Amino acid sequence: MTVQAGTAGLGQRSEVTVRSELYAQALDAIYHGFTEPDGIESALESVKILMGAEGATLEVIDKAARRPVTFQSSGVASAEGDDYLAHFAPRNPRLPVALSQQQGGLCWDYQVMDERAMNRDPFYAEFLPRAGLRYFLSVVLEQSPQSLVAFTVQRTAAQGHVSAAEIKLMQRLAPHLQRAYRMRSRLAAAYGRGATTGALDLLKDGVALLGAKGETVYLNPSLQAISAESGLFRVDKRGIHFSSADLRSRYARAFATAARASERAETDAVTDFVAARADGLPPCTVSLRALRHPRLRADGSDAAVIMLVHDPLRESVAARMLQELHGLTRAEAELACALSTGMTAVEYAARRGVRVTTVYTHLKRTREKTGWRSVAELTRRVHEISIGLRTN
């Protein structure tokens, strides 16, 4: 992927802007698509467009049989997919490499064989030309003793072998694809048990299922913890009770809007507000939505509205991912997450009871390890891996 930052003409957008929008759209499609029963194809399509590829596939491969048990695609004709499953899947020379990789590992053609070997290989010389394809770039989403889950973008001969920039872009997408797939697996397991709320228990954000009159049908452990830690609201069987008159008014308006949308089977009403803390620390974000998933409504009995509360100060998955992706220490990762919320280094030092010089030392090491040049870039990168449950 070549990104040019040249000055855009009047009425035109720079390629940087377009790529940024495509990246944001792809992340949105990944998290939305992987949580919807029929949403995988839209996620594949969005990543395909972002990567400038001809197609994209998601495969779950049985290691014993060395064949896909699930094959979903965008940009690959169904007839070609059937032919692949019937004849060429066991002969795919890419498979042994993928089977040997760790979770999160990337693979591309020149790791498998060179051009001369491709021209002699049945998979490359017979199957791929019929599909109009040649090259690939894949990432292992899950690796277990029984199965391999791989996400792959497919390229034509004209598009050529993947570039270093495209490999780097897939590295950025990889943790999002992994998280979205894990969430999909958990939701599928929960639905299979008839216990949707079991999946909600796993979320870091606070979640409440509310009845038509605001009564609480279900609260996940995170919501109860946020209530206790922030002091912004309390919960009981009668509902959610915010501490200030302003927040009570905002909540009442948001709930009324979501409840009306639920009655009309609508899901696009905007019902978000910010709950500021009295001590000036970063606020919580509160979102209310009409329930649209039939299993949520069924498992939640009379539940009509779902409320999500995001507290940026709670230990997050993002901090652990920063440690894994960039080799940050826990202190460095927690500092990065805190600064991404708008907290200053001085405020963070005061909150943690450490010297400001210590905070600046952590920040310097974070920049050295990640290559991020500014707090603005740090904020953008942390937000990229902090996307959680889609709420609209």
Query: Where is pLDDT greater, at 150 or 263?
Result: 150
Q: Give residue 264's pLDDT band: very low, low, confident or very high (50, 70, 90).
A: low
More confident residue, 85 or 367: 367
Looking at CATH, the fold of the domain delimited by 196-310 is given as Beta-Lactamase (3.30.450)
Fold classification of 15-192 is: Beta-Lactamase (3.30.450)
> What is the predicted pLDDT for the residue at 373?
81
> Band of the pLDDT at 87, cuts 50, 70, 90?
low
- From CA 378, how far away is CA 235, in angstroms rounded? 35
Sign, CA torsion 218/204/138/43:
positive
> How confident is the prediction for the chain on average, in pLDDT?
80
204-215 per-position pLDDT tens digit: 788 999 998 999
* Nearest one of 196, 242, 204, 241 to 221, comparing CA atoms: 204
Say whether pLDDT at 379 is over 90: no
Query: Is residue 150 scored above 80 in pLDDT?
Result: yes
Asked if 217 contacts 209 with a C-beta cutoff of 8 angstroms, the reply is: yes
What pLDDT, on the 0 to 100 scale, is given for residue 122?
87
Q: How confident is the model at residue 294 (pLDDT cuts 50, 70, 90)?
A: very low
Residue of 240 and 327 predicted with greater confidence: 240
pLDDT of residue 86: 64
| Percent above pLDDT 70 for the chain | 78
Distance between CA atoms of residues 156 and 133, nearest Å: 4
Question: Hey, where are the domains in the chain?
Answer: 15-192, 196-310, 317-385
On the question of pLDDT at 154 being above 90, the answer is yes
> Do the Cβ atoms of 363 and 335 come closer than 8 Å?
yes
CATH topology match: 15-192 vs 196-310: yes
Residue-wise pLDDT for 54-85, tens only, equals 999 999 988 887 777 888 888 876 545 566 66
Query: Each residue of 6-58: pLDDT tens digit?
Result: 444 434 455 555 666 788 788 878 877 787 767 888 899 999 999 999 999 99
pLDDT digit string (tens) for 169-195?
Answer: 999 899 889 888 887 887 666 554 444
Decide: 366 and 358 in contact? Cβ < 8 Å. Answer: no
Confidence check: pLDDT of 269 > 70: no
User: Looking at the domain covering 317-385, what would its CATH class be?
Assistant: mainly alpha
What's the confidence (pLDDT) of residue 253? Answer: 93
Residue 184 vs residues 26, 34, 58, 204, 230: alpha-carbon distances, Å: 17, 6, 13, 16, 30
